[in-house]
Amino acid sequence: MRIATRVALGLSLTGFFAGSGASLAQTASPPPAGGTPEQMPFDIPYGAPISLERSKQVLAAAEAEAVKRNWKMNIAVVDTHGDLVHFVRMDGAQLASVTISQNKARTAARWRRESRVFYNAYETGHPYLGTLDPQLAASPGGFPLVEGGKLIGAIGCSGGTGDQDAVICKVGADLVR
Single pTM value for the model: 0.75
- What are the C-alpha distances in Å from 171 to residues 87, 110, 132, 147, 154? 16, 20, 28, 14, 12
The verdict on residue 45 lying in a domain is: no
Question: Which structural domain range is residue 71 located in?
Answer: 52-175
The verdict on residue 1 lying in a domain is: no
The verdict on residue 35 lying in a domain is: no
Q: Work out the mean pLDDT of the chain and round it to a whole number.
A: 82
The verdict on residue 129 lying in a domain is: yes
- The alpha-helical segments, DSSP class H, found in 1-51 are 2-20
Check pLDDT > 70 for residue 10: no
Split into its structural domains, the chain has a count of: 1
Check pLDDT > 60 for residue 8: no
8 A C-beta contact, residue 147 and residue 135: no
pLDDT at 150: 95
DSSP assignment letter at 46: B
The verdict on residue 32 lying in a domain is: no
Is 157 exposed, middle or buried, given 0-12, 13-18 or 19+ CB atoms closer than 10 A? buried
Q: What is the CATH number of the domain that holds 137?
A: 3.30.450.150
Tens-place pLDDT, residues 126-171: 666 666 776 777 788 999 999 999 999 999 999 999 999 999 999 9
The verdict on residue 76 lying in a domain is: yes
pLDDT at 117: 84
The verdict on residue 70 lying in a domain is: yes
The verdict on residue 56 lying in a domain is: yes
How does residue 31 score in pLDDT terms, banded at 50, 70 and 90? low
pLDDT at 137: 78
pLDDT above 90 covers a percentage of the chain that reads: 56
